[in-house]
Structure 1
């Protein structure tokens, strides 16, 4: 495979997200890190025995744009390698930058759009359709979607009743991972509520370790913090209203959620490096500083999704033994939330290669390759869970599939990208400023509302 060898510092990890409000707290901590090898009929790279027939594309060029970098890009390239092997196509990976819609706009204007783009937001799919860039899913890909995906996941990739997106990658983003040795030394236990979480953090601090690692340099992690607190505390109805901007960001429910989040962000000794250090920490590093150093790391816990396991794999820690996980704690008497990220493949060219790639990505064949590597959950209900590398990830995958159609997309990813998905602007900038000064709840609310009002108005216009 021919790939462009530029690197991207900010690793985009599953910006699109859905909340599984019907799924109870996952019993993850008791899961071992051991095996469960892929199906005996799997190929050398974890690809299951082919379940879908792909066309011959000898010599045809297919380009794929995505914001993935680091370990995620490496694994996705293996997925594309298998597509090359089976079709004879020549596939190139095009590194994209956030916001990907802006990146694609420049490519389209230059007459060089990629064949397929991996879009991390519902709003991005809708915008690609509105701009007349996106091409509808073809017959063969549609068959795979109907066979392998629930109605809810198909609807997330549809605009105006027509299918455009194939959701290939999901990620449960309501998980708190912890260094098992640090937790044991502190005498702590897995918390089930926000108050218990803060108590556990204090116990870890008293043992001599900074309790929580925050990757604040990549502000999507901060939107995830807010959304988990808000969904649990305010409930699904309010969540839906705020996501659609039917209530303002100056609403008392937002004040309450920011105040709650400030109970963590406002305690400098609870955050590794303090707020300023967190703002200089990128997501992969936030994971590594929790698990490098044995029982004396820089932090004891890190919040984020199952993609954390990819960063853990670059350390000596083992998932299920050294690195364990519990569901995001319930806040204010609400349910424990579950937010899941996702990326959809959308064709930007009317080409045989683009449609063949969508068909492949909608099959269990492609999903099995990344599942074996870890840090990935597939919404494909026909993927054998034995493909996942350990019991922790198998349980996460089972919970995702069990949720069926009861899904909600991540709040920031339902918003116009100018508000919910652009570095240095909108919600991302407001929450980074809030991390710096979590006492300014009212000011943060005003900034959020001003930015949201402008973005939603521009979207309507």
Structure 2
């Protein structure tokens, strides 16, 4: 495990936002050290370090960052068992946070940190950071997983407009198909993308309250609301002409390939659904330019549903409650801290007081606006909220059930029964 002390890094940005009254004065925390563990490496790590450096400059504290990558849950478990917990961890799995909170390993968020969360975040984000009604964390970085990316050249040549409703989305797909172009490239080889499809449809057809209940398994997967969502999804999955390669081809397509199918040369489909991170694949693996050939629109409204966002995100939680650790948590809850990374790119903040003007391009500005404007209609990725055996295991649980549903969308009732059996086992109910 490698720790990186940030003292001495050159400053890249000057923050103009004033400090809160409770923020320690310059140099007040000199001699104190805070260790932060997160998943970020490479460019993300460098940008996060610039955020931390601003805190160091203001307070005099030293911050050490440990990049744990995808092994973060294992790293934390080992550290906790060894009695060497970090000060703060940035965790993307709410289930892990809930377990640590229930086991008494986390410190609740109180005082100035809780006040900053109330001032800067919609209530939905506070709820997402809470366990049994008690706040345990601050969402610092978020992902917008309610975006459909499209090839603007293909739309222009076929005369298809940007759809706002599910009906328009399907009709546009039929128009594309009639013009000889598959409408959508689906990454069916990666079961997690299919859970995102389901979640976006379910949030719009069943509503936020039922979404919360299903995510906690308080209603079964045999509930009529699940049937409606699967039947709606089958309108796309069941029409082979709308899908690049049909269902069989989709089940052989991984996520990066689904993106290059749309933005490669020549394009094999006009649209691909997934989160804001699609832009990274476009920039790395194709010659298309994000904001020009590659654009996005919000996941379509279904039956008049309001704007809503399925999100992911990294929650800062504290294992220690010394003065320096709590001060850094308050900083993470501020618009000031988020603004540092927002200016550098590759970042979305759920903080409603971060100005959209600070984002470096129009696409990111629009992604951030969509995330913030959804307000309390933001819901966390349901599969990430579930036990991993159900919502996060390759070839099993929800991933495999939805892959089989993509292969045969006529099996709505059988899919519901299978999902309920798998969920009941995972939730032990």
Give TM-score scaled by structure 2 length.
Answer: 0.82
Deviation at 1:166, TM superposition (A): 0.6
Give the aligned partner of residue 139 of structure 2. Answer: 167
* Number of aligned residues: 412
Distance (whole Å) between structure 1 residues aligned to residue 325 and residue 197 of structure 2: 36
Give the aligned partner of residue 300 of structure 1. Answer: 270
Note if 1:79 corresponds to 2:48.
Answer: yes
Please tell me whether the aligned partners of residues 116 and 349 of structure 1 are also in contact (alpha carbons under 8 angstroms): yes
Give the aligned partner of residue 165 of structure 2. Answer: 193
Note if 1:243 corresponds to 2:212.
Answer: no
Post-superposition Cα deviations, 1:317-364, rounded to whole Å, max 9, x if no partner, equal 333321222222233454454323332111234566644543332222
2:368 to 388, 393, 397: 397
Post-superposition Cα deviations, 1:411-445, rounded to whole Å, max 9, x if no partner, equal 33443443233444322232233223333222221
Deviation at 1:197, TM superposition (A): 1.5
Q: Give unmatched runs, 5+ long, in structure 1.
A: 5-42
Give the aligned partner of residue 100 of structure 2. Answer: 128
Cα 1:376–1:284 shift into 2, 3 Å = farther
Cα 1:373–1:215 shift into 2, 3 Å = farther
Give the aligned partner of residue 95 of structure 1. Answer: 69
Distance (whole Å) between structure 2 residues aligned to residue 299 and residue 443 of structure 1: 30
Give the aligned partner of residue 31 of structure 1. Answer: none
Cα 1:130–1:50 shift into 2, 3 Å = same
Q: Give unmatched runs, 5+ long, in structure 2.
A: 5-9, 57-61
Cα 1:333–1:215 shift into 2, 3 Å = same
In the TM superposition, 1:47-446 aligns within 5 A as 48-49=15-16, 51-52=18-19, 56=29, 60=33, 62-66=35-39, 74-84=43-53, 86-87=55-56, 88-97=62-71, 101=73, 104-111=76-83, 113-137=85-109, 139=111, 141-293=113-265, 296-314=266-284, 315-332=286-303, 334-335=305-306, 337-350=308-321, 354-405=325-376, 407-446=378-417
Distance (whole Å) between structure 1 residues aligned to residue 350 and residue 237 of structure 2: 33
In the TM superposition, 1:6-45 aligns within 5 A as 45=12
Please tell me whether the aligned partners of residues 185 and 207 of structure 1 are also in contact (alpha carbons under 8 angstroms): no
What secondary structure is seen at the aligned counterpart in 2 of 1:312? Answer: helix
Please tell me whether the aligned partners of residues 79 and 370 of structure 1 are also in contact (alpha carbons under 8 angstroms): yes
Give TM-score scaled by structure 1 length.
Answer: 0.77
- Larger helix share, 1 or 2: 2
Post-superposition Cα deviations, 1:248-300, rounded to whole Å, max 9, x if no partner, equal 2122332232122123223344333444443444434433432232xx22321
Distance (whole Å) between structure 1 residues aligned to residue 206 and residue 123 of structure 2: 27
Segment of structure 1 superposing worse, 336-345 or 440-449: 336-345
- Report which structure shows greater RCO (CA 8 Å, sep ≥6): 1
Please tell me whether the aligned partners of residues 171 and 341 of structure 1 are also in contact (alpha carbons under 8 angstroms): yes
